[in-house]
A and B are shown apart, each in its own frame.
Chain A
Amino acid sequence: MLLRRTDLPLDRDASGRFLPWLVAVMVYLAALALICAIGANKVVSRWDQGLAGRMTVQVPASETGDGDRAGEVLAALQAMPGVRSAEALGAEEIARLLEPWLGTGSAYQDLPMPTLIAVRIDRAAPPDMAQLRHQLTQIAPGTVLDDHQSWLGKLLDLARSVQLVAVLVVGLVGASAVTMVIFATRMGLSVHGRVIELLHLVGAQDSYVAAQFQAHALRLALRGGVLGLLLAILTVLLVANLLRQSDAVALPDLSLLPLEWSLLPLLPLVVALIAMVTARLTVLRTLGRMP
């Protein structure tokens, strides 16, 4: 009964109305940024793992018939140390690869098509790529070796950029939370100046007053943080569902692992703790300056 209300009527302050919503928006943005960073990381690692130890050799078609040249390249690859396997793709497989660009049908069968050879290399003892390239171009001029590193490197750069942006967003969210709580706390100190003075006159320490502000800030930030997180989760589930329905393999996979899901609630908790500590320090600092 006696502790049902706090000594300071902070719940009636304007901060009680705007702070949870602002925190909700910030946590929402931070959660989305983190999930995007996790998604980008997954794309890179999926492609990295999928393409690790693989390369593609493209033997251009020859007007005089490339069957022999492709066969020679294939034989050279199979004999090369460090090459675990080399296999020319069949017509059906090439047709499937070209389908997104040329569509179904047999129109492309009249075109001079290169021969594609899928090569798996020994990652422990890979072949000398420069030597391999030289050797294959000797056999079939214009042969292209693609070990996917250039493409993967760009993808990795993109993922790192996304992660950097996510870190910046989280940092900005933290800084904004601190600024907002400082503002709201100072406003509260000003509005409740007479009550605080009375508490002091009755024997309250600065820490007693600070405890009320920090509990208030914790409560508001937690309320807003949970709301923001729930909205972010809903958004992610919606977007993940849309991504699953599309066939775009290069898009990130936003489905999270249980461990990643379990980390997300830390976001509102951390923001709430930041708010609590900020409120406490603001009160102690402000009251400490008083005579």
Chain B
Amino acid sequence: MRFEDVSLRYGAGPEILRHVDFHLEPGSFHFMAGPSGAGKSSLLKMMYLAQRPSNGGIQMFGRDVAGLSRSEAALMRRRIGVVFQDFRLLDHLSALENVALPLRIGGQRADKVRKHVAELLAWVGLADHLHALPPTLSGGQQQRVAIARAVVARPNLLLADEPTGNVDDRIAVRLLYLFEELNKLGTTIVIATHNETLVSRFSHPVLRLSAGEIRLSRSASPPGGQSTKGSAA
């Protein structure tokens, strides 16, 4: 993933992101940190192709996203797993059906994926809630369903927006280990979080967003000290 001088503004409003430049190698693991309103969600939106930049260029998987047709963009999104901050589960589908959604959209047969999906839900601690509808689940349980849905198709890129915001520390660490396992299998991971404690427990580099600008920090320490501006490789 490569962002080159990317800026974003909504309509005639102020710039949310300014001259963002970075490059994420395949198989890398990054946290994205920054205060509320710094532009983390907007940056993630551009990463999962839900938002086009006002200026600059974005390359994903070796393709310039500006030149993608709707059909090509849809196929590229199948390589990206997203954990949304508000989960975005389908309330009329069970946990099992929600998690199976990317596989179904990818054309896999339902009977073939059931076992795999059930195992994944068991791994995130929801073995007893396979057929529960999201409104009957707690916030933490819904978050785990959303995470399972994001990783079920083994995406090349996993983007997570505050994926541990509604779970206790024990579950949060467990979920981070799940992301690390995926990362070891080759998935590029970007996790947006404001949980500095959690970030400090891992040695992954941090993309720090502040006032619409991005800096790369090699550790979890705040920007300024060991931070370098611009691209990350």
Contacts and interface: CB of A to CB of B under 8 A. Distances in A.
B70 A198 contact: no
A2 interface: yes
B71 A205 contact: yes
Interface stretch (A3-11, A78-86, A105-113, A146-154): A3-11
Given A1-B96, A2-B96, A200 B74 contact: yes
Contacts, number: 67
Interface in B80-113: 80, 82, 88, 90, 92-93, 96-97, 100-102, 104-106, 110-111, 113
B110 A201 contact: no
Contact of B78 (A2, A7, A197, A203): A203
B70 A203 contact: no
Contact of B102 (A3, A203, A205): A203
Given A3-B104, A7-B101, A203 B74 contact: yes
Contacts of B78: 202-203
B52 interface: yes
B48 interface: yes
A5 B91 CA distance: 12
Q: Assign chain A's interface to a size class.
A: 20 to 34
B30 to A, nearest CB: 21
A195 interface: yes
A65 interface: no
A90 interface: no
Given A201-B48, A203-B75, A2 B105 contact: no
Interface in A169-201: 194-195, 197-201
Contacts of A261: none
B96 A203 contact: no
A200 B77 contact: yes
Interface in B38-74: 48, 50, 52, 70-71, 74
Select the residue from A204, A208, A288 with max chain B CB neighbours within 10 A. A204
Select the residue from A2, A7, A199, A287 with max chain B CB neighbours within 10 A. A2
Q: Assign chain B's interface to a size class.
A: 20 to 34
Contacts of A202: 77-78, 82, 101-102, 105, 149
Contact of B106 (A7, A200, A203, A206): A203
A100 interface: no
A173 B32 CA distance: 58
B114 interface: yes
Interface in A272-291: 287-288, 290-291
Given A1-B96, A7-B93, A9-B92, A201 B113 contact: no
A110 to B, nearest CB: 87
Contact of A3 (B48, B50, B90, B110): B110
Contacts of A201: 48, 50, 77, 82, 88
A12 B75 CA distance: 30
B110 A7 contact: no
A44 B48 CA distance: 69
Contacts of B52: 291
Nearest to A12: B92
B128 to A, nearest CB: 17
A238 to B, nearest CB: 43
A290 B88 CA distance: 21
Contacts of A287: 70
A291 B73 CA distance: 11
A287 B70 CA distance: 9
Interface string A9-37: 10010000000000000000000000000
B74 A205 contact: yes
28 contacts: A1-B96, A2-B97, A2-B100, A2-B111, A2-B113, A2-B117, A5-B92, A5-B97, A7-B90, A7-B101, A198-B88, A199-B101, A200-B77, A201-B48, A201-B82, A201-B88, A202-B78, A202-B82, A202-B102, A203-B77, A203-B80, A203-B105, A204-B74, A204-B105, A206-B70, A206-B74, A288-B70, A291-B52
Which 6 residue pairs spanning A and B have beta carbons closest together?
Answer: A203-B78, A2-B110, A203-B77, A9-B92, A205-B74, A3-B110
Given A12-B92, A202-B102, 7 more contacts: A2-B104, A2-B110, A3-B110, A195-B90, A203-B74, A203-B106, A290-B70
